[in-house]
């Protein structure tokens, strides 16, 4: 069968794609920029084709999707802002239908949220509105409705992990007593694949959930038990939604705009009512604690496939980040370092590909942490996002408070763009070049200031740059780790 997959570079899409390919399906992956697709420039699969499309803009002619059998709609915009995401989601859904309705598709599959309560959050109301838009299509809709998804890299999982691992005692808002029905990512994928072209699921909506109905407090305590921690949670009734959002933002790796939407949704119970799909498909729900344990097995094996943090929407609403791939030269401040490489240049390339996250930035770790804390204090992303995979880098991935614009292993080039709060724009580039039979590391930091504030900022940090950038370049060339074989993937 030929399947259209939207959100192919997102948290769910990246995990569903290999399942569909293993079943022998031909998959058309919708991406906003083909360079963000993990296989781009590295390997191809005979059953994968790419359709470059932004559902918030006018759609291009797409003859290659006329003969599809089914389509997955896995697009969400909750992290793109605190006020406009509902309008964005509705516009995206309508444009999606414009693409799908002229095709031979026999089914739409939409992963959404559980909406059984009378009063819904803005986030859940938006999801419900999208479901209604898709249900009015001439193509039958199957809506799969889930609550908290537990899996390595999911927003809920990573937020709970931050809270449990960093806070022995938590002073929490009253929403921690709200009940939810968490579900393992493995079960979600089973449901999504299981309903494919099953006519008894057409024009129907199904709630899905795990076997446990828990409060957020119970989830945190059970999460701690899996990790072998003892945690104390004190609930206070006076914490406002704004304070709750700030609390999540400063303690966890989430952005403030996502924290606002999460807090708004955490006040609503999400418990499955119509879960007949479990019996129809013969799915065995995974208990919450087992789901947490399975997620940590993936983390320990360094096999996390996808993370919510790698979505461009987690930082940018206009999806224009990759337009910055051409580093400017006019009106910019530049710090350039060149270091001769003694020995294997592949070792230095491995060092570059391992930068950030647990490895750090090779010099001035304390200064980087201070800079990350300062960024958090002014509403930036800080250093807590880390990196999804400690061994592989793809275009579009996050590296602490940077975003990967180019990860070109063949040409030995890594280009990062700063997502920290700055009075201007910043790029950090690493290249290995060959000259007269010798190899050299070229490390270039470029800053395009925004007015006088940007210029004052650059001059104020120049003394730190001298030590940090010089030390980083030296250590990238010198650092050795026996058996290190990571590549960009």
Q: Which CATH number do you get for residue 344?
A: 3.30.530.20
Tell me the pLDDT band of 247, cut-offs 50, 70 and 90: low
Same domain, 191 and 94: yes
User: What would the mean pLDDT of 261-288 be, rounded to a whole number?
Assistant: 85
Same domain, 417 and 279: no
User: What would the mean pLDDT of 230-243 be, rounded to a whole number?
Assistant: 78
Does residue 279 fall inside a structural domain? yes
Q: Which residue has the higher pLDDT, 411 or 315?
A: 411
Distance separating alpha carbons of residues 184 and 187, to the nearest angstrom: 5
Percentage of residues in the chain having pLDDT higher than 70: 81
* Statement: residue 303 has pLDDT above 70: no
Does residue 322 fall inside a structural domain? no
pLDDT at 129: 92
332-363 pLDDT per residue, tens: 889 999 999 998 899 999 999 999 888 888 99
Q: Which residue has the higher pLDDT, 427 or 156?
A: 427
Helix, strand, coil abundance in the chain, percent, nearest 5:
40, 20, 40
Phi, psi of 231 (to 5 degrees): -125, 145
Same domain, 268 and 399: no
Tell me the pLDDT band of 313, cut-offs 50, 70 and 90: very low
Tell me the pLDDT band of 41, cut-offs 50, 70 and 90: very low
Distance separating alpha carbons of residues 390 and 220, to the nearest angstrom: 26
CB 487 within 8 A of CB 391: yes
- E strands, 53-123, in order: 70-73, 107-113
pLDDT at 442: 95
Does residue 426 fall inside a structural domain? yes
397-439 pLDDT per residue, tens: 888 888 888 888 888 999 998 888 888 889 999 999 999 989 9
Helices (H), 354-402: 365-377
* Statement: residue 43 has pLDDT above 80: no
Distance separating alpha carbons of residues 30 and 49, to the nearest angstrom: 9
Q: Which residue, 386, 383, 378, 414, is CA-closest to 488?
A: 414
Same domain, 147 and 279: yes
Q: Is 96 exposed, middle or buried (0-12, 13-18, 19+ CB in 10 A)?
A: buried
Same domain, 335 and 434: yes
**Average per-residue pLDDT for the chain:** 83
The SS3 assignment for 432 reads strand
Same domain, 275 and 342: no
326 secondary structure, DSSP code: S
Does residue 440 fall inside a structural domain? yes
Q: Which residue, 41, 47, 55, is CA-closest to 7?
A: 55
Tell me the pLDDT band of 327, cut-offs 50, 70 and 90: confident
Tell me the pLDDT band of 219, cut-offs 50, 70 and 90: very high
Question: Which residues, 6+ apart, have CB-to-CB distance to 339 below 8 Å?
Answer: 440, 441, 443, 473, 474, 476, 477
Cα angle at 185 between 181 and 189, to 5 degrees? 115
Does residue 12 fall inside a structural domain? yes
**Cα distances (Å, whole numbers) of residue 115 to 91, 268, 285, 414:** 21, 9, 20, 43
Strand partners, 70: 3, 107
Same domain, 55 and 183: yes
Residue with tokens 């013969």: 282
Highest mean pLDDT out of 305-319, 398-412, 463-477: 463-477
Same domain, 107 and 53: yes
Does residue 306 fall inside a structural domain? no
* Statement: residue 218 has pLDDT above 90: yes
94-131 pLDDT per residue, tens: 999 999 999 999 999 999 999 888 888 888 888 999 99
Q: Is 254 left (phi over 0), alpha (psi -120 to 50) or beta?
A: beta
Distance separating alpha carbons of residues 359 and 137, to the nearest angstrom: 49
* Statement: residue 318 has pLDDT above 50: no
Least confident of 80-89, 222-231, 319-328, 343-352: 319-328
pLDDT at 263: 67
Domain extent at residue 395 = 327-478
Distance separating alpha carbons of residues 390 and 355, to the nearest angstrom: 8
Does residue 421 fall inside a structural domain? yes
pLDDT at 264: 66
Q: Which residue has the higher pLDDT, 162 or 63?
A: 162
Same domain, 343 and 462: yes
What one-character-per-residue DSSP string does 311-357 give?
A: SGGGT-SS--GGGGGS---TT-EEEEEEEEPPS-HHHHHHHHHT-BT
**Distance from the first to the final alpha carbon of the chain:** 28
Strand partners, 29: 5, 50
* Statement: residue 266 has pLDDT above 60: yes
- In the chain, how many domains are there? 2
Same domain, 145 and 281: yes
Does residue 487 fall inside a structural domain? no
285 secondary structure, DSSP code: P
Same domain, 276 and 209: yes
* Statement: residue 212 has pLDDT above 80: yes
Same domain, 276 and 378: no
Distance separating alpha carbons of residues 328 and 333, to the nearest angstrom: 10
Phi, psi of 39 (to 5 degrees): -85, -10
> What CATH number is given to the structural domain containing 103?
3.40.50.720
323 secondary structure, DSSP code: G
Tell me the pLDDT band of 384, cut-offs 50, 70 and 90: low
* Statement: residue 159 has pLDDT above 60: yes
CB 27 within 8 A of CB 65: no
């Amino acid at each position: 069968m030929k399947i259209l997959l939207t959100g192919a570079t997102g948290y769910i899409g990246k995990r569903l794609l290999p399942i569909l390919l293993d079943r022998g399906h031909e998959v058309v992956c919708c991406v906003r920029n083909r360079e963000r697709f993990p296989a781009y420039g590295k390997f191809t699969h005979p059953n994968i084709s790419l359709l470059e499309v932004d559902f918030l803009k006018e759609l291009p002619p797409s003859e290659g999707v006329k003969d599809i059998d089914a389509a997955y709609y896995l697009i969400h915009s909750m992290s793109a802002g605190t006020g406009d995401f509902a309008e964005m989601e509705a516009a995206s859904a309508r444009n999606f239908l414009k693409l799908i309705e002229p095709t031979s598709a026999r089914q739409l599959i939409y992963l959404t949220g559980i909406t059984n309560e009378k009063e819904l959050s803005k986030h859940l109301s938006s999801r419900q509105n999208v479901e209604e838009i898709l249900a009015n299509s001439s193509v039958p809709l199957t809506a799969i409705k889930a609550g908290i998804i537990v899996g390595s890299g999911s927003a809920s999982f990573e937020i709970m992990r931050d809270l449990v691992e960093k806070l022995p005692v938590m002073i929490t808002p009253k929403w921690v007593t709200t009940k939810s029905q968490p579900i393992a990512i493995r079960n979600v994928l089973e449901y999504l694949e299981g309903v494919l072209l099953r006519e008894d699921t057409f024009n129907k909506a199904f709630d899905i959930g795990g076997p446990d109905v828990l409060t957020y407090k119970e989830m945190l305590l059970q999460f701690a038990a899996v990790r072998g921690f003892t945690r104390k949670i004190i609930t206070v009734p006076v914490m406002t939604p704004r304070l709750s959002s700030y609390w999540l933002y400063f303690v966890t790796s989430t952005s403030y705009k996502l924290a606002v939407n999460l807090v708004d949704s955490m006040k609503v119970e999400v418990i499955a009512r119509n879960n007949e799909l479990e019996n129809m498909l013969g799915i065995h729900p995974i208990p919450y604690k087992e789901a947490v344990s399975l997620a940590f097995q993936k983390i320990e094996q360094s096999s996390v496939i996808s993370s919510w943090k790698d979505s461009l929407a987690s930082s940018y609403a206009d999806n224009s980040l990759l337009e910055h791939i051409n580093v400017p030269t006019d009106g910019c401040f530049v710090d350039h370092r060149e270091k001769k490489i003694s020995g294997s240049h592949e070792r230095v390339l491995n060092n570059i590909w391992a930068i950030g996250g647990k490895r750090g930035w090779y010099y001035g770790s304390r200064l980087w942490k201070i800079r990350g804390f300062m960024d958090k204090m002014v509403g930036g992303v800080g250093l807590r996002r880390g990196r999804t995979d400690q061994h592989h880098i793809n275009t579009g991935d996050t590296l602490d408070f940077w975003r990967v614009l180019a990860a070109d292993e063949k040409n030995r080039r890594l280009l990062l763009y700063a997502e920290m709060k700055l009075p201007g724009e910043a790029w950090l580039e690493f290249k290995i070049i060959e000259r007269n039979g010798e190899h050299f590391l070229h490390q270039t930091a470029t800053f395009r200031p925004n007015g006088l504030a940007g210029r004052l900022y650059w001059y104020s940090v120049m003394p730190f740059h001298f030590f940090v950038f010089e030390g980083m370049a030296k250590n990238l060339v010198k650092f050795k780790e026996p058996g290190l074989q990571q590549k960009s993937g």
